[in-house]
Copies of this chain bind each other. A is one copy, B any other.
């Protein structure tokens, strides 16, 4: 069956977590069926897109009834690989890395934090939230021994690209980049980005515009 995995477009993949969240909510309310319209509204997309996206998973609603919530939830969760745990390494134990190391949400969601690494002699050997900080040089061994699948990069921007290449060499298969820079990796190594600084600057822009507009109007 594994060979029959359909090729799902990246944009669809990016929406599956939204559908899953909506389905979890419906399931908690013991809702048995859901229309594509309702699912679309909960996920913040349009209904035609929902139907198209779910058709890639081989899921088709029944006319007048909609989708079976429990079955679709199972389908989407399985497609997302959430039936397995994916151990992560956090690289870079600065302010952000430490905050992420302390965040329990990763483990709770099936992404156990299996290793913390840095290159700073002052940090290597110390403990954060009861976990030892290892040296980046030990990454090959850590990845192999602990089955690490995903690297979370929380280094300064200047070294993020180099570190990303290093983690891929060590056998890590995908990257979540928190460093405030663009990281490019070979095809087949997915990189996702979480950029707090950029999001804050975008809000700052609107604050600034509001401030200058109200100054002119009043």
A103 lies within 8 A of B99 (CB): yes
A207 lies within 8 A of B44 (CB): no
The answer to the question of A141 belonging to the interface, with a C-beta cut-off of 8 Å to chain B, is no
A21 lies within 8 A of B180 (CB): yes
Which of A10-18, A59-67, A117-125 is near enough to bind chain B? A10-18
A18 to chain B, nearest CB (A): 7
Q: Which of B21, B173, B212, B216 is A157 in contact with, Cβ under 8 Å?
A: B21
Chain A interface bracket (under 10, 10 to 19, 20 to 34, 35 or more): 35 or more
B43 lies within 8 A of A204 (CB): no
The answer to the question of A114 belonging to the interface, with a C-beta cut-off of 8 Å to chain B, is no
Which of A31-39, A46-54, A75-83, A131-139 is near enough to bind chain B? A75-83
For A102, what are the chain B residues with a Cβ–Cβ distance below 8 Å? Answer: 95, 98-99, 102
In A152-191, which residues have CB < 8 Å from any B CB?
157, 173-176, 180-182, 184, 190
A213 lies within 8 A of B5 (CB): yes
CA distance A106 to B16 in the complex (A): 30
A23 to chain B, nearest CB (A): 13
What are 25 sample pairs from A and B whose C-beta atoms fall under 8 A apart? A2-B213, A3-B212, A8-B205, A13-B202, A16-B205, A17-B197, A17-B198, A17-B201, A18-B198, A20-B201, A79-B205, A79-B208, A80-B201, A84-B204, A86-B207, A99-B100, A99-B103, A102-B102, A105-B196, A106-B200, A111-B204, A174-B207, A176-B200, A192-B202, A194-B196
